[in-house]
Amino acid sequence: MWPTSLSGRLLLSALIGVFAACIAAGAIVGAFAYLLETDYLADIELVDELDKLERGLRTGADGRLAFTLQRSSDMYDALRKDTAFLIADAGGRAVFSSPAGPALEALKHLPPAASEAPVDDPVLPVLLQVRERRVIRAGTGYTLRVARSNRMVERLGVYARQLYLGSAAASVLVALSVFAIVIYLTVRRAVVPLQRASAIAAGIGPRALSTRLHAEGIPSEMTPLIDALNAALERLEQGFKVQQDFLAMAAHELKTPLTLLQAEIEIGGDMNQAAMLRETQLMARQTHQLLHLAEVSEGRNYRFSRRSLWALAADAAGYLGRLAERSSVSLQVERQGPEAFVDADEGAVFVLLKNLIENAIRHSPPGSVVTLDVSAQGFAVVDQGAGVDPADCEHLFKRFWRASSATEGAGLGLAIVREICTAHQWEVRFEEAPAGGARFVVTIPAAALRVGE
């Protein structure tokens, strides 16, 4: 089963890789050992022995020939039927030789340049492989001959193969053990920053939203994840702060009308019904706008479908026609260019246009005109009121902000408009109308529009 921890996966992956490499190396070594034929092994062994004989044969300071056998003397003594060597002069006389035995006798009677010599044995016949070499010492030529039996070479080959494979298996086990320890310590050290980041993340809560994860020591592959988590925490902190501010401002806005109502009730007597009605209407409007703001701030509340900009504008203008009449304001809808369609939440766009048009009507003098322009670029609501003080422009879309001259409203209408535009990936901005007054423009990206469908 694949480990669930990162360190376990890294360790297992590394061990699998090393084990596969060791298996491949062992297979190569084994194949090499088993592919070596007996003749090839015998030839290597005989040439190596000739090299030893040549090194051991030398001329002393007095000019006399001397010979010292290196390392192999015990083998020639113990295996007289299977091994032998002979050093002869130019006349064929033996100068130096291995201990007397069947193999040496066969070597002495062997014709020059022969590569094989049989050994007579009534129990088990033996075939010797022979190699010879001519050397010069003190101006005199000598012939070196060495013999090994096939059975001896085969036994040595089997032993060598077993030794190679055993050594390879032991090397693999040792390498895997060492590698596992090194990888374990390395991985354990590498995940320490991740464990530290996890501990920091576990401590983040409503009272510690400003805490951030540190990327020091984190593997470069994990840095984007840490950055993304920090960015998410930043948005979460900002959203929590906005929520806290929202609650505080909502409580503050509702506190004044509630206080007035409480005072009227406590005084008793002839209550000012008009004042109480005005305050309850203000609270009802503020509550309604608070609900609207909470609803449009949640992306999951939107249901998008293909809608005509003309139809959306007509619905909002028709709904606010009576308010315009009561305020003695003319509400006009002007269509520019061909009909355009967009994927939008019909109810949210209705609230957006209603807030803009209602805001324009309430700030327009009697006898003036409020215009709703509809085009393939979006909407524009224009009034002929007093306009907006330049110092107030940067505050227009803030929650609960109201101009000093405002006598009613909760300061949420334009904030709701901005939230709806953000959810649709539209833009809203304020401009001064060419003939005076205010002009609020909602721009829809061209990629989101379909013209003439």
Give the tokens for residue 185. Answer: 């310590």
Boundary-marking domain end, from 145, 166, 190: 190
* Residue 112 domain flag: yes
In the 8-state DSSP scheme, what is residue 120?
-
Q: How far apart are CA 182 and CA 171, in angstroms?
A: 16
Query: Is residue 6 located within the same domain as residue 138?
Result: yes
Q: Are strands 369-375 and 340-344 parallel, antiparallel or unpaired?
A: unpaired
Helix axes 6-35, 150-190, angle to 10 degrees: 170
Query: Is residue 34 located within the same domain as residue 166?
Result: yes
Q: How far apart are CA 329 and CA 434, in angstroms?
A: 19
The CATH number that applies at residue 326 is 3.30.565.10
Residue 93: give the domain boundaries. 1-190
pLDDT by residue (tens digit) across 291-317? 666 665 566 677 888 999 999 999 999
Q: How far apart are CA 304 and CA 342, in angstroms?
A: 9
| 234: Cβ contacts below 8 Å, ≥ 6 apart | none
Q: Return the pLDDT at 242.
A: 67
* Residue 29 domain flag: yes
* Residue 154 domain flag: yes
* Residue 352 domain flag: yes
Give the number of domains in the chain. 2
User: pTM score, two decimals?
Assistant: 0.47
> How would you label 1-26 residue by residue, b for 16+ Cβ within 10 Å and e otherwise?
eeeeeebeebbeebeeebeeebeeeb
Query: Is residue 175 located within the same domain as residue 308?
Result: no
Spatial contact of 389 and 403, defined as CB atoms under 8 Å apart: yes
Give the tokens for residue 265. Answer: 């009730």
* Residue 288 domain flag: no
In the 8-state DSSP scheme, what is residue 305?
E
Give the tokens for residue 320. Answer: 């606010």
Q: How far apart are CA 39 and CA 36, in angstroms?
A: 8
* Residue 136 domain flag: yes
* Residue 20 domain flag: yes
* Residue 422 domain flag: yes
**pLDDT by residue for the chain (453 residues), tens digit each?**
556 666 666 777 777 777 777 777 766 666 655 545 556 667 788 888 899 989 888 888 787 888 887 666 788 888 888 889 999 998 888 999 999 998 888 888 888 888 888 887 777 778 888 999 999 988 889 999 999 887 777 777 677 667 767 777 777 778 778 877 877 777 777 777 777 878 877 777 777 777 887 777 777 777 888 888 888 888 787 777 766 666 665 665 566 566 766 766 766 655 566 666 666 665 666 566 566 666 655 666 778 889 999 999 999 999 899 989 999 999 999 998 888 999 998 888 888 898 899 889 988 899 999 999 999 889 999 998 888 877 777 778 777 666 655 555 566 778 888 888 988 899 999 888 887 888 999 999 988 888 766
Q: Return the pLDDT at 374.
A: 93
Residue type, 388: V
Q: How far apart are CA 258 and CA 277, in angstroms?
A: 12
Boundary-marking domain end, from 146, 162, 190: 190
Boundary-marking domain end, from 190, 208, 234: 190
Residue type, 186: T
